[in-house]
Chain A
Amino acid sequence: MEVRDKLAILADAAKYDASCASSGAKQTRAGSKLGTTEGMGICHSYTPDGRCVSLLKILLTNFCIYDCQYCVNRVSSDTPRARFTVDEVVSLTIEFYKRNYIEGLFLSSGIIQNSDYTMEQLIAVAKTLRTQQAFGGYIHLKTIPNASPLLLTEAGRWADRLSVNIELPTAGDLLQLAPEKKREQITDAMQGIAETITETKSEEQAGLHPPRFAPAGQSTQMIVGATDSPDADILQTATELYDKHQLRRVYYSAYSPIPHADARLPGKSPPLVREHRLYQADWLMRYYGFDTQELIVSPDRNLSLELDPKLAWALANRQQFPIDVNRAPRELLLRVPGFGVRNVEKMLSVRRHHQLRTEDLRKLRVAWNRARAFVITADHNPALADLDKLDLARRTQPRQRQLLLFEAAESARSGEV
């Protein structure tokens, strides 16, 4: 099979992986001849789905001995199969990188023979890139479930980021859809990686020079909507992952219908909006001081699809408003719908010099539509009168339609989401 045909199959197989970040590795590896990692990642292109193309995201092979029901590459699927050699991936990465198409490589794989053998193959690619090609660009390796801890240590030495997929929100979901994968094995692997990262950091601080270990940390991915687990469970799992295992990112991937899915999977996919809401909630937990319990306001323990989680929270907690932008502390300002972290920092800085008026907020480009009913400014703010109105939700937002995946055909035609 030609490299081009393999690339088509193995990129197709990788596109359900949401992660594409190439940030976090602060320093370029010493001795690199080609490639840098300088902290911020770069999106080199965008596909018509609006997603960034940063890394060459491929599978080493999509042959797999596992039978995870939500996965297009599971053993019982009819999907066309291919397998790259180590050298083919190395050469693709280098040649793409030299033309500035990419930031580096995101390599994952179906499981061939057994977990350790597969992990060794992934490591071989990363090691060849580092040692033979003196490649200093970004490498993200997806670790293989159940691979031995020694191999994970070796992988972290050559990769900037490692990820172990948590796959599904709860242990029960996993049992139901991916019986070969065990929650404990997954979290144990994460814990192992987290500990080695901490160890490496403390050795560095002590002035030693330990071998590099996943300087960009670890991330994970959760499939959303393949089971009934509500958003509350999903966010709870995410919180644990951030707190206990010090993950850099949790990615949420709306379950996408795949060829030849199993009967245990739901008959329709979750709205893409749900995925979006989870990311918003995730952000609010990490940067805005919200906790999971606060964000879930509806009795079905899901986030609202129509309203963004902060607005939904504000509407359910109107007694906390209005907030005076000239007096409120940072934590409260962060809770105003339509205010972002940077907006708030600027407000705090400006108000030391003069009182904030409506026009100041507009200049700071806050989402005034959403914010106006919740804040007191130095001038008269007529929208404040809406705070007690029943239809405030409607007034704060233009009608928004949920996008279901199967409506995507229409969306694909019109280009609107």
Chain B
Amino acid sequence: MRFVQAERFDDWRETARELLCAEVPPAEVHWSAESDSLLFADELAPAAPKTIHVPPQFVALAKDVAFHRDSRRWEILYRLLWRLTHGERQLLEISTDDDVHAATQMQKAVKRDEHKMHAFVRFRRVLEGENESYVAWHRPDHLIVRLAAPFFARRFSAMQWSILTPDESVHWDGHELRYSPGVPATMAPQQDALDELWRTYYAHIFNPARVNVAQMKKEMPVRHWATLPEAQLIPELIAQAESRVRTMIDTREGFATSAQQFIPAQYDLSSLAAAAHNCTACDLHCHATQTVFGRGPATARIVLVGEQPGNQEDQQGQPFVGPAGQLLEETLTQAGLQRSELYLTNVVKHFKFILRGKRRLHQKPGSREIAACQPWLAAELKVLQPELLVCLGSTAAQAIFGRGFRLTSDRGKLITTQFAPRTLATWHPAAILRMTNEIRQQEMREQLVRDLTISAAMLA
């Protein structure tokens, strides 16, 4: 029996070549890694050197297997080498052969470990005076530091970095790789300011409706979690997933309806109003007294659209009959318009409110309610074909012009839309009533009258 040792591929190659030249069969060789502290190593009697030819795939395979932690790697490689050079030249093609299988399994483990090291190393920034460097601690399964390091040198070529592992560490200064002994995890920095931001991203890119923990653990083995800043969130994310999905289901957020399905195939204003009475497209109908549909002659040339009915409108079933309605009527008169000639309606046809004691306080409708109710307004406008459409307030304006519309900058401008050749947006009378600054209130009121006057003149 011969006792030999090898730490890295080059050691093994040299020794294996000598053994092969001396025609020492695998069964007579005991291989050990250097760290096994061999008591004595055999000196081989120098044999006549000869050239050894092996398939190039074998060299590639052996180089990878050399990084495996298993101490049997050297003997398996030597056995393969022996068989390749003793009549089994095609051996590597037989992947089901025990030695080939063992070696390729080792190669696979090493390649996978290398890939995981490329993936799971997490650098942390270290500032020493002016000098910035990045340090990571990682625990690979195999002895792959020298295999994996060149990748980091290419990728982070302009950075100074170190990767520390229990077996060996590697350092890059921007020019060359330097290796040093392994260190424990405590030698590495534990924090980076960016970790928190990274965790934010990780938590939000996760879709709780598709939980698959087994798949995650398969690809990201738990033994690596300790060095991954994001992994500390995993238990919490899994624990919350159920309730997050349940909330989504309970509130049935996913499947809202729209008024489209309540609109009759053939319609005029009165049949629309009748149909709207039974609309349940959004939840507002549950609490409101009744649907408040638009009012006015079918021949109206001007249509005014507000936001939604208020408390009094809700009780009386008519639009613009409360305080805002009174103000609107005053301003219409000032502008020289007759309310009876106009068609008045709202974007949302039900009153939305919250209860404060016995008072029902107005609440702005959400875009979901606006979207659900929108088909009613579209149908009304289709029947009426107005020459002028006036949007009162930003909710109405955004429903007609789109979310980007800003009342403060575009109020009073005449614009052509799909609904009417002339469309303009102005203040909602309720907004004027709510304004606490009296000077501003007066100004808004004058603007409303002016906008209505201009529009009235357009039609004259």
Contacts from A to B (Cβ < 8 Å): 3-4, 7-9, 11-12, 14-16, 28, 33-36, 38, 42-53, 56-58, 63, 65, 75-78, 92, 95-96, 98-101, 134, 256-263, 265, 267, 269, 272, 346, 349-350, 352-354, 359-360, 363-364, 405-406, 408-413, 415-417
Contacts and interface: CB of A to CB of B under 8 A. Distances in A.
Contact of A99 (B93, B125, B244, B254): B125
Given A53-B202, A256-B209, A261 B120 contact: no
13 contacts: A48-B206, A50-B210, A65-B404, A76-B371, A96-B197, A98-B125, A99-B198, A100-B123, A256-B209, A257-B254, A259-B254, A353-B93, A412-B244
A262 B260 CA distance: 10
A96 B194 contact: yes
Interface string B111-148: 00001001111111100000000101000000000000
Given A4-B196, A354-B94, A260 B210 contact: no
B93 A52 contact: no
A232 B90 CA distance: 45
A52 B206 CA distance: 10
| Top 10 A-B residue pairs of the complex, sorted by shortest distance between their CB atoms | A257-B254, A50-B215, A50-B212, A412-B241, A415-B213, A76-B371, A11-B204, A47-B206, A33-B158, A49-B210
A94 to B, nearest CB: 11
Interface of B: 90, 93-96, 101, 115, 118-125, 134, 136, 151, 154-159, 192, 194, 196-198, 200-216, 219-220, 228, 230, 234, 237-238, 241-242, 244-246, 248-249, 253-258, 260-261, 281, 366-368, 370-371, 374, 402-404
A216 to B, nearest CB: 17
Q: Is the interface of B mostly helix, strand, loop or mixed?
A: helix
B253 A257 contact: yes
Nearest to B206: A47
Contacts of B246: 409
A316 to B, nearest CB: 30
Given A34-B158, A99-B134, A46 B197 contact: no
A34 B219 contact: no
A32 B155 CA distance: 9
Contacts of A45: 119-120, 202, 220, 228, 230
Contacts of A16: 207
Residue of A56, A101, A354 with most partner-chain B CB within 10 A:
A101
Contacts of A263: 256-258, 260-261, 281
A43 B211 CA distance: 18
A57 B207 CA distance: 13
A349 B121 CA distance: 37
A49 B198 CA distance: 17
A48 B237 contact: yes
A136 to B, nearest CB: 8
Nearest to A81: B403
A346 B104 CA distance: 12
Residue of B94, B96, B207, B256 with most partner-chain A CB within 10 A:
B96
Given A34-B158, A259-B254, A363-B96, A49 B211 contact: yes
Contacts of A354: 94
Given A47-B237, A99-B192, A263-B258, A53 B205 contact: yes
A4 B197 contact: yes
B200 A46 contact: no
B128 to A, nearest CB: 17
B200 A260 contact: no
Contacts of A56: 201
A98 B158 CA distance: 10
Nearest to A79: B367
Contacts of A4: 196-197, 200
A47 B205 contact: yes
Contacts of A51: 207, 210
A255 to B, nearest CB: 10
Given A65-B404, A258-B254, A7 B204 contact: yes
Contact of B154 (A8, A28, A77, A405): A28
Nearest to B154: A36
Contacts of A346: 95-96
A53 B246 CA distance: 25
B123 A99 contact: yes
A353 B253 contact: no
Given A48-B237, A99-B194, A42 B219 contact: no
A203 B261 CA distance: 56
Nearest to A47: B206
Given A44-B120, A260-B368, A364 B154 contact: no
Residue of A43, A47, A65, A413 with most partner-chain B CB within 10 A:
A47
Nearest to B198: A101
Contact of A415 (B125, B238, B371): B238
Contacts of B254: 257-259, 261, 269
B93 A47 contact: no
Contacts of B230: 45
B123 A75 contact: no
A264 to B, nearest CB: 8
A8 B402 CA distance: 26
B382 to A, nearest CB: 17
A51 B216 CA distance: 7
Contact of B256 (A52, A101, A262): A262
A34 B154 contact: no
A261 B255 contact: yes
Contacts of A265: 255
Contact of A15 (B120, B156, B206, B404): B206
